[in-house]
Chains A and B, each alone.
Chain A
Amino acid sequence: MNKDTSHINSLENEAIYIIREVAAQFERPVLLFSGGKDSITLVRLAVKAFYPAKIPFPLMHIDTGHNFPETIEFRDRLVKELGLELIVRHVQDSIDEGKVKEESGKYSSRNQLQTTTLLDAIEEFKFDACIGGARRDEEKARAKERIFSVRDDFGQWDEKNQRPELFDMLNGQIELGQNVRVFPISNWTELDVWSYIEKENIEIPSIYFAHTRATFLRDGLIWSAEDDVVYREDDEEVVDRMVRFRTVGDMSCTAAVLSDATDIKTVVREIRESSISERGARIDDKRSEAAMEKRKQQGYF
């Protein structure tokens, strides 16, 4: 394949520039860490941005309680190896405190509920900038996002009134109570992220690689039957399949894809050849055409 890395290098340089701007322009930044490949990539970029100093801000994981066990193990190991500070806030706590109500039924997930926990944590720690791994190629409302995206006191995105963003000048001036969501890998595609993971030899959780898993089919998508947070009807038949995951969000709304790719090289090849976009495997976006935009207006990452 094409071994020319100039494209990925320029994306890397751009992301490092953005991450440094965050450290310089804000008093209390945080990197939102989900344990997924995009946030692992962000951590790698942040390490590079500040070497030989440590990353000058903490990581924060909003834990839905619906994680793949592999991602949590991986998260804790990464944080320890790099000597980083990790903050964890639990959606379960927001539920127990009565701030949000658990969804029920076939398509229930905790994806929406995360927002409340996130906004509370931002307030608790007075974070003024949250770095996230969202990319513009993920979804068409995401494609509209700025690199520095201002949110009001309620975490809301005013999508019709975004600040102009010219050249590479990033305006991080905000009022007290506002915060900025920062997306350093905005211009990366899913393939770029995978190529970068391959090039940099970055370790990622094992569920990203093909493995045999007890699964069932619904709406043409493959769901894990191994974890009790994924709702399954009695007539949905469980079959062992060779699968991998393309994203590792809330387990209850993350479908798997059939795959033989047991190493990074074959994953990259599969992604290159695949014809379904990554979010096609996320049921929360299929709920309605505007699902992502609505969640973002409410403060979702």
Chain B
Amino acid sequence: MEVLKIATAGSVDDGKSTLIGRILYDTKSLTTDKLEAIESKSKQLGYDYLDFSLATDGLVAEREQGITIDVAHIYFSTAKKSYIIADTPGHVEYTRNMVTGASTSQASIILIDARKGVIEQTNRHFFINNLLRIKDIVVAINKMDLVDYSEEIYNGIKADFEELMSKRDYQDQKITFIPVSALKGDNVVHKSEKMPWYKGEALLEHLEQLDKADIFNVGTPRFPVQYVIRPKTDEFHDFRGYAGKVYGGNLSVGDDVIVFPSKTRSKIKDIYFYDEKYETASRRSSVTITLEDDINVSRGDMIVKEGDIPTIDKQFTANVCWMDSNQLTPGAKYVVQHGVNKVLAKVDRINHKIHPDYSGIEKDVTGLGVNDIASVTFKLNKPIFYDQFKNHRTNGSFILIDTQSNSTVGAGFIQ
């Protein structure tokens, strides 16, 4: 069965949680007890309709404030596909949680309130979705019931969004527009009769046809060593296995490999998945590899195929999404976690800040505030082995960890 991971995006109150609740309801994915809970809570709140956002807003504070604070992961399936939907918050304050939800998704649904059109948070979320190079975007123009299902309004918003799109960096991103009413269910799972002027598909019909193209792992094979397995038992006395996940492409027994940072050369001897040996380890599988030669390999090292090696450097430039209320400033030190590898990094310089509405860049910035997006150059205390994000999602991305609070304070995409 195919699995499609989707995230929602869009400003606060645009209807993301309601849309997901509606999808669950119309696909009969809500179990009896969950549906009863929504019915009784909606009644208690005095609504004459079912408040579907109650299906996903799982925290007390969320229900009290009527907003989403953190990502909820929702699971459902149709005859064709399994879906994992990340319901993300629209509120600016919780943008970091929106990035969390979007980072693991293959497709994204950006909601726009038909009464408000494209607003600042729409720009920001679209920018982040484009930065993350999410392949498929659905722009769902929502609350069509509140604008008399007007084609004119829909077209106006579409035109505004298309202007934004024309300036985007990752032009291959596919974008589809659908007019919906999450609350009433128009064009969500079933096609609406209220908008005969719309000739396209309902949202779910569209999602059913997206291929689950594995955007996380295209490129060349990279094998970051997670853990060294040394059983030291009689049977496996000399066994030295390197456990990790294969990224980018397949690795096979007999492949000539180089181990970074030592640049030692060897050959893949065996590939284990549990107690079975395989000829090939396909991408995304968590395997254990042994090498022909007895060389020193430890966690954070990277095994790659001869001929197609990553860049090794003690400095790099990246687009950074800053997520902390404390500023990022030149000279500040952070831990860069690049896959399973950690190095200490110093901010060498902030090259420029980028406006998420594509209106340009800002030079001479002295610091980054929460939700700022900027090009930043870092110097490292040890070299890392990276690829550009556009060529290799996993080996081209990293997180920044505050050395004091240990919190994750930023996400980076290597240029």
A and B interact = yes
How many residues of chain B have a CB within 8 Å of chain A? Answer: 71
* Least distance between B208 CB and chain A CB atoms (Å): 16
Name 7 interchain pairs, CB-CB below 8 A, sorted by A: A13-B285, A21-B340, A50-B243, A51-B229, A51-B274, A144-B58, A166-B100
Residues of A within 8 A of B288 (CB): 51
B interface footprint on A94-132 (CB within 8 Å = 1, 0 otherwise):
000000000000000000000000000000000000000
A interface footprint on B399-415 (CB within 8 Å = 1, 0 otherwise):
10100001110010000
A50 to B273, CA, bound (A): 10
Task: State whether the Cβ of B235 lies closer than 8 Å to any Cβ in chain A.
Answer: yes
B interface footprint on A52-82 (CB within 8 Å = 1, 0 otherwise):
1110000000000000000000000000000
* Least distance between A260 CB and chain B CB atoms (Å): 20
Task: State whether the Cβ of B131 lies closer than 8 Å to any Cβ in chain A.
Answer: no
Task: State whether the Cβ of A290 lies closer than 8 Å to any Cβ in chain B.
Answer: yes
Residues of B within 8 A of A52 (CB): 229, 231, 233, 235-236, 239, 241, 275
A44 to B334, CA, bound (A): 37
Contact B399 A169 (CB under 8 A): yes
A residues with a Cβ closer than 8 A to B are 2, 4, 6-7, 9-10, 12-14, 16-17, 20-21, 23-24, 47-54, 136-137, 139-144, 159-160, 162-169, 171, 173-175, 186-187, 189, 274-277, 280, 289-290, 293
Residues of A within 8 A of B335 (CB): 173
A interface footprint on B1-18 (CB within 8 Å = 1, 0 otherwise):
111000000000000000
A187 to B74, CA, bound (A): 9
A174 to B397, CA, bound (A): 22
Task: State whether the Cβ of B75 lies closer than 8 Å to any Cβ in chain A.
Answer: yes
Which one of B63, B74, B285, B406 lies within 8 Å of A174 (CB-CB)?
Answer: B406
Question: Nearest chain-B residue to A277 (Cβ)?
Answer: B31
A6 to B57, CA, bound (A): 30
Besides the contacts A143-B72, A277-B31, A293-B59, what 10 more A-B pairs have beta carbons closer than 8 Å?
Answer: A17-B226, A24-B227, A51-B229, A53-B229, A53-B236, A139-B58, A144-B70, A171-B399, A275-B31, A276-B33
A296 to B108, CA, bound (A): 30
Q: A51-B275, A143-B58, A165-B100 are in contact. Are A136 and B73 (CB under 8 A)?
A: yes
Residues of A within 8 A of B323 (CB): 164
A67 to B401, CA, bound (A): 42
Which one of B57, B229, B299, B408 lies within 8 Å of A50 (CB-CB)?
Answer: B229
Residues of B within 8 A of A276 (CB): 31-33
Kindly identify, within residues 317 to 356 of chain B, every residue whose CB is under 8 Å from any CB belonging to chain A.
323, 335, 337, 339-340
Question: Nearest chain-A residue to B231 (Cβ)?
Answer: A53
* Least distance between B300 CB and chain A CB atoms (Å): 9
A143 to B69, CA, bound (A): 12
Residues of B within 8 A of A51 (CB): 229, 272, 274-275, 288
A interface footprint on B232-256 (CB within 8 Å = 1, 0 otherwise):
1101100101011100000000000
* Least distance between A273 CB and chain B CB atoms (Å): 12
Task: State whether the Cβ of B122 lies closer than 8 Å to any Cβ in chain A.
Answer: no
Contact A164 B96 (CB under 8 A): yes
Contact B82 A7 (CB under 8 A): yes
Kindly identify, within residues 153 to 201 of chain B, every residue whose CB is under 8 Å from any CB belonging to chain A.
none
Residues of A within 8 A of B70 (CB): 144, 159-160, 162
Which one of B58, B229, B398, B399 lies within 8 Å of A141 (CB-CB)?
Answer: B58
Residues of B within 8 A of A175 (CB): 406
* Least distance between A149 CB and chain B CB atoms (Å): 11
* Least distance between A9 CB and chain B CB atoms (Å): 8
Contact B100 A289 (CB under 8 A): no
A175 to B404, CA, bound (A): 9
A277 to B166, CA, bound (A): 45
* Least distance between B62 CB and chain A CB atoms (Å): 9
* Least distance between A194 CB and chain B CB atoms (Å): 14
A174 to B32, CA, bound (A): 41
Residues of A within 8 A of B398 (CB): 169
Residues of A within 8 A of B82 (CB): 7
Kindly identify, within residues 32 to 59 of chain B, every residue whose CB is under 8 Å from any CB belonging to chain A.
32-34, 37, 41, 55-59
* Least distance between B126 CB and chain A CB atoms (Å): 18
Which one of B34, B286, B411 lies within 8 Å of A49 (CB-CB)?
Answer: B286
Kindly identify, within residues 69 to 93 of chain B, every residue whose CB is under 8 Å from any CB belonging to chain A.
69-75, 82, 84
Residues of B within 8 A of A20 (CB): 226-227, 243-244, 286
* Least distance between B107 CB and chain A CB atoms (Å): 16
Question: Nearest chain-A residue to B71 (Cβ)?
Answer: A144
A224 to B401, CA, bound (A): 50
Residues of B within 8 A of A141 (CB): 58-59
Q: A48-B274, A51-B272 are in contact. Are A168 and B59 (CB under 8 A)?
A: no
Residues of A within 8 A of B236 (CB): 52-53
Task: State whether the Cβ of B394 lies closer than 8 Å to any Cβ in chain A.
Answer: yes
Residues of A within 8 A of B314 (CB): none
Contact B60 A164 (CB under 8 A): no
Task: State whether the Cβ of B371 lies closer than 8 Å to any Cβ in chain A.
Answer: no
Residues of A within 8 A of B119 (CB): none
A136 to B229, CA, bound (A): 30
Task: State whether the Cβ of B103 lies closer than 8 Å to any Cβ in chain A.
Answer: yes
Contact B73 A143 (CB under 8 A): yes
Q: A13-B245, A168-B104, A169-B398 are in contact. Are A275 and B408 (CB under 8 A)?
A: no
Which one of A7, A50, A142, A160 lies within 8 Å of B69 (CB-CB)?
Answer: A160
Contact A293 B58 (CB under 8 A): yes
Task: State whether the Cβ of B284 lies closer than 8 Å to any Cβ in chain A.
Answer: yes
A180 to B103, CA, bound (A): 22
